[in-house]
Amino acid sequence: MLAPAAAAALALFEVTQDRSYLRIAEDLYAWTKSHLRDPSDGLYWDNVALNGRIQKWKFSYNTGLMLRSAADLYRFTKKEEYEADAKEMQASSLKQWTDSSGSFTDDVKFMHLLLENWLRAFRQVPGVTDPRKTIETGLSRLHDISCDSLGHFGNKCNDVPKNGPYTPFKLIDQAAAAEAFLQAASG
């Protein structure tokens, strides 16, 4: 998955205005889209293995980082392709990673990146679905359902603590939950 590199190149372009970074980001985005995009829903598979086989697992951060890149590429170029991609990813990912109760369904450590980029796309791309109510509901459910009696979060956004506090709990999940709440508060 080259989406993190595309996002980094776009951040460098924003700071330096060196168009070579923009070209690199567009190339990385195009390669990832042509090799890892699921045509049935516009979401992104995880990776290409060394043997060339596509790992068709879907994690929210893969689509989240491509959504970020599409939103930034649209902001910098105003190309309709990136606008359309951002709209498709936003709509599909809202369906993919929320359940009927409004809970998020992926790992906390991945989901926070998608939430951040739902907000980014909403701010930067006209016509993108407003994610704020979905985020508010999902984070309320995360707090009310997944948070144990000591204030720790499980691995999945929709985990329910059984028989007392999580043992063990992971710091990455706590940091990711904190980041998600921060993004929602500033979104």
Q: Give me the pLDDT at residue 172, please.
A: 97
Domain extents in the chain: 3-186
Residues 6+ apart with CB under 8 A from 39: none
Q: Give me the pLDDT at residue 187, please.
A: 72
In which residue ranges of the chain is pLDDT below 50? none
Residues 6+ apart with CB under 8 A from 14: 72, 76
Q: Give me the pLDDT at residue 135, please.
A: 97
What is the Rg, in whole angstroms, of the alpha carbon atoms belonging to the chain? 17
Q: Give me the pLDDT at residue 1, please.
A: 72
Phi then psi for 122, rounded to 5 degrees? Answer: -60, -40
- The one-letter amino acid at 120: R
Which residue, among 51, 93, 103, 52, has the nearest Cα to 71 in the 3D structure? 93
User: Does the global pTM surpass 0.85?
Assistant: yes
Q: Give me the pLDDT at residue 186, please.
A: 85
- List the CATH code of the domain at 3-186: 1.50.10.20
Q: Residue 50 CB: number of other CB atoms within 10 A?
A: 6
